[in-house]
Structure 1
Amino acid sequence: MKTIGLLGGMSWESTSLYYQQMNQLVQRRLGGLHSAQIVMVSVDFAQISQWQQQGDWQQAGQYLAEQAQYLQRAGADCIILCTNTMHKVADEIVAAIDIPFIHIADATAQVIHKQEISKVGLLGTAFTMQQDFYTGRLKQQGIEVMVPDLAAQEIVHQVIFNELCKGQIRAESKQQYIEIVESLIRDGAQGIIFGCTEICMLIGDVQFSVPIFDTTTTHAQAAVEFALA
């Protein structure tokens, strides 16, 4: 079994889901007392969030690249960046390491293609929904991406940072998210990407009329597939 390197803490709430799901997947695959071989760096999200708000992606990229190098020295055979938004600096991380980097958008695209879907709605932080680093990577793989209108984007973004990243689950926010997803479906989305690793905490138990692509689960599965290949 190969060792998975988790670059997490963004937020720690969703990183804990990665750790849990990876171990569950390995145990189901191998049985007995098997669990995943993992090394992890968990950063202080307050600093990352500050760089995001300042638009200082260069500093954030340099810092996360250094943390990825630390994971490589610790024995990781691949790197998993446990956040959608910070894949904006994926190129900086890839350039700094000599082991595979499993990109969350690529893992998601593979699952979408298996469903024979070409048009999806995306929920995530404002950075993920508005900038090209994520939607553009999906479009390069033949997937059309829809995002909510600006007012809905603001709701999605604020709930992520002010509630989900702090472990807060509110019924009012859940209903708002459901309405936003259903609006995307009415507008033609054939599937919905939970493009922030915390979103599954809020509406992961909701049954929608189209397939849901939970990036946390998809990314964890891709890592385990690599580790057990």
Structure 2
Amino acid sequence: MRRIGIIGGMSWESTQLYYRLVNERVRAAKGGLSSAPLLIHSVDFAPVAAMQAAGDWDGLTSMMVEAGCDLKAAGVQALAIATNTMHKMADAVTVATGLPLIHIADPTAQAIRAAGLSRVALLATRFTMEQDFYRDRLAAAGLSVLIPEAAERAEIHRIIYEELCRGLVRDDSRVLYAGIIRGLRDKGAQAVILGCTEITMLVRPQDMDLPLFDTTGLHAAAIADWAMAA
């Protein structure tokens, strides 16, 4: 199998899901005691979150490039970023390292198109919902993207950072997300992208009115498949 490097820790709550999901897929495919040859560079999320809030994207780009270069020096053959928001730096990391990068939006878009859907709602951090770097990649794959209203975006973002990234999963927050999803369904959304890797901890298919596309699970599957395709 090929060795892949994962830039994680944003937050570690979802990075641990990646580790489990990637290895479960490898074991299911190969059997026995098989597991994936992974290296994980897990950053301290506190300064990352502070820099995001301050809009210091140049500083964050430098941090992500350094992490990618460290993994390259350690011998990985490809990279993955275990967070949607920090794919804002995906191109810079690819250029700096010269390594292929498994982009989280690509398996997500492929799964949605394979399901015959094209109009999707995006729930994520406010950075991912409001900036172009992520929505443009989905649009290039033929998807039309809806995002919640401003007040709803603020609540989605707050719950991610104040609850999910701290390991808190609250029923009232699940109810709030479900209400936002119903409103997006009424505006024409055919499905929902869980576009933050922590949202899968909160939002469950049985609680929602639309099909869910979990970026964490889809990305982890793509990582495992890349590692095994050798």
Classify the TM-score, shorter chain. over 0.9
* Residue 202 (structure 1) shift: 0.5
Cα distance between partner residues in 1 of 2:38 and 2:160: 26
Cα pair 2:181 2:209 within 8 Å, conserved: no
Contact 2:26–2:35 (CA<8 Å) still a contact in 1?
A: yes
Q: 2:48 — aligned with what?
A: 48
Report the CA distance between 1:205 and its aligned residue. 4.9
Kindly, what percent of the aligned residue pairs are identical? 45
Structure 2: state its 5+ residue gaps: none
Where 1:206 maps in the other structure, the secondary structure is helix
| Counterpart position of 2:20 | 20
Amino acid at match of 2:174: K
Aligned equivalents of 2:152, 2:210: Cα separation in 1: 20
Displacement of 1:206 in angstroms is 3.1
Q: Which runs of no fewer than 5 residues in structure 1 stay unpaired? A: none
Alignment-derived partner of residue 155 in structure 1: 155
Cα RMSD (Å) of the superposition? 1.0
Instruction: Look up the match of 1:30.
Output: 30
8 Å CA contact 1:39–1:75 kept in 2: the answer is no
Shift of 1:204: 3.0
Q: SS where residue 213 of structure 1 aligns?
A: strand
The one-letter code matched in structure 1 to 2:41 is: V
Q: C-alpha displacement at 1:186, in angstroms? A: 1.7
Alignment length, in residue pairs? 229
Shift in Å at residue 183 of structure 1?
1.3
TM-score using structure 1 length = 0.97
In the alignment, is the contact (CA less than 8 A) between 1:4 and 1:78 conserved in 2? yes
| 2:132 equivalent in structure 1 | 132
CA distance in 1, matches of 2:77, 2:16: 20
Between the aligned partners of 1:173 and 1:211, the Cα distance in structure 2 is: 19
Structure 2 counterparts to residues 1-229 of structure 1, below 5 A? 1-229=1-229
* Distance (Å, rounded) in 1 between the aligned partners of 2:117 and 2:202: 24
2:205/2:211 contact within 8 Å kept? no
Q: Which amino acid aligns with 1:91?
A: D
C-alpha distance in structure 2 between counterparts of 1:92 and 1:48, whole Å:
17
C-alpha distance in 1, partners of 2:15/2:131? Answer: 23
TM-score by length of 2: 0.97
Q: Distance in 2 between matches of 1:52 and 1:92?
A: 17
Is 106-115 or 161-170 further displaced after alignment? Answer: 106-115
